[in-house]
Amino acid sequence: MKNTATITWLILLMLTIASALFSDLDSKYAVLFILILSALKFFGIAFQFMEIKKAHVFWKTIIIGFIFLVGIGLLLVI
């Protein structure tokens, strides 16, 4: 299981670097791409390091619903 945490950490690191690289773009799609990368990082942290993957289905649903609602709210603002 230690390898899983290391792989997740490396993926999170790559997603962070990708977010930093896309932040310099002046495209309207750059914001959408950064939001998607942020959601993926949130899922990686929540399910791997906060161990939501072992939690009750209620908590998994709450986490996924939260990201869904926040994402829709941010897209409406943009």
Is the pTM higher than 0.85? no
pLDDT in tens, 12-47: 999 999 999 988 888 878 888 888 899 999 999 998
Compute the average pLDDT of residues 36-65: 91
According to the model, what pLDDT value does residue 1 have?
56
**What distance in Å separates the CA atoms of residue 77 and residue 45, rounded to the nearest whole number?**
25
61 band by pLDDT with thresholds 50, 70 and 90: very high
What DSSP letter does each residue of 23-66 carry, written as one string?
TT---HHHHHHHHHHHHHHHHHIIIIIS-GGGS-HHHHHHHHHH
